[in-house]
Amino acid sequence: MKSAALLALSLSLLLVACGEKPAAAPPAATVPLAVGIVRYAELGFHPEREAPATVLGKNEARLAAESSARIVTIAVDSGDAVKAGQVLVRLDARDAELALARAEAGLAQSAARQAQAAAQTARARSLKEKNFISAEALTLRETELTAAQADVQSARANRDSARRGVDKCTITAPFSGIVRARAAQVGELAAPGTPLLTLADTSDLQVVAQVQARDADGLTAAAKVEFAAAGQIHALSLLRISGAISREARTVEARYHVTGGPAPAPGTEGRLVWRDPRPHIPADYILRRNGRYGVFVLDGGKASFRELPQAQEGRPASADFPPEARIVTRGRHALQDGMSVSLDAAKPDTK
């Protein structure tokens, strides 16, 4: 052995002396990194999602006075159930009733003048047929009759308007529901447009939730969606999910009907709960490489980094991988894209 080493050294020195470089030693072979894998079908899970939700009526009206008058009676209070057409508030109608009386008197006067003009016109036509009056005189009478008829129409409109003023002094329920809030008191002066009562519709209750835009697709495809409130779970059926995204909160509105039992009372707050139908990769297995989040997938004998565009740090992420995709689990932190790997005997392929 020593003789062979001395011989090799002598040859190297001889080559250097002759101006030639010795051949470089062949590079050591790279040892593939041993990794463990799990099929995506076994690793992926379906996370439970939730969003704040409230039970609301299809209609919620803030009832206000249409005219200025003092409040005489408020027949309901907060929490009372009412039926459509039920009287809720009465205003002092005396001024409106006086205006109606004046309008009715004006209509009677106009009607009397119209009757007089009609009689005079009929007489003028009879006299014209006998040539006792001129055509101009008949035209004058007909013109007076037309003006009297117009006065009657105007007086009738005034009467109807005054009658509407009386009707406005009585506020009735536009639909069956529950009084959510009472903002007025007896004796106060009601101003036009100022809400007196808030009435929530109970004929068509809906569960309304604000859902993160990134969860909208999963919610649409969810097999079961429930409303959890006050320790109870209510089954839901989808009405619609809005296609518009709130600019401030980046949420979309989802509306549901309560099925399989009575709906909670309007205003009930709870959580919309569903399970995302898309399989997700647990957050522990998501890595960051070159500013991108993803996982390593075994592709042949190499580790291939697959980016997950929707992934966020510390959160599970959905992935559109086939069920048989082999996700690197053990040894993943030491990997770079394209590295050669081998299966760790302690973590065999579960395919």
Give the span between the Cα atoms of 328 and 299, in whole angstroms. Answer: 10
Using pLDDT thresholds of 50, 70 and 90, give the confidence band for residue 260. confident
The pLDDT assigned to 81 comes to 92
Contact yes or no for 220/241 (Cβ under 8 A): yes
The pLDDT assigned to 60 comes to 87
Which domains occur in the chain, in start order? 33-45+280-343 (2.40.420.20), 49-57+201-275 (2.40.30.170), 60-91+169-200 (2.40.50.100), 94-167 (1.10.287)
CA atoms within 13 A on the CB side of 151: 19
Chain segment 161-220, per-residue pLDDT in tens? 999 999 999 999 999 999 989 999 999 999 999 999 999 988 888 999 999 988 888 899
Q: Over pLDDT 90: what percentage of the chain?
A: 71
Q: Which of 206, 214, 209, 207 is nearest to 47 (CA)?
A: 214
Kindly report the number of other CB atoms within 10 A of residue 247's CB atom: 6
Give the span between the Cα atoms of 51 and 65, in whole angstroms. Answer: 37
Residue 3 has pLDDT above 60, yes or no: no
Using pLDDT thresholds of 50, 70 and 90, give the confidence band for residue 247. confident
pTM of the model: 0.60
Using pLDDT thresholds of 50, 70 and 90, give the confidence band for residue 98. very high
In sequence order, the β-bridge partners of residue 237 are 257
Find the mean pLDDT for residues 132-151.
Answer: 94
Chain segment 17-53, per-residue pLDDT in tens? 444 444 444 444 467 899 999 999 999 999 999 999 9
Using pLDDT thresholds of 50, 70 and 90, give the confidence band for residue 341. very high
Using pLDDT thresholds of 50, 70 and 90, give the confidence band for residue 5. very low
Give the span between the Cα atoms of 112 and 274, in whole angstroms. Answer: 74
Give the span between the Cα atoms of 229 and 272, in whole angstroms. Answer: 9
CA atoms within 13 A on the CB side of 217: 5
Q: Over pLDDT 70: what percentage of the chain?
A: 89
Give the span between the Cα atoms of 242 and 342, in whole angstroms. Answer: 49
The pLDDT assigned to 345 comes to 57
With helix as H, strand as E and coil as C, how does 128-185 read?
HHCCCCCHHHHHHHHHHHHHHHHHHHHHHHHHHHHHHHHHCCEEECCCCEEEEEECCC
Q: Is the dihedral of CA 265, 266, 268, 270 positive or negative?
A: positive
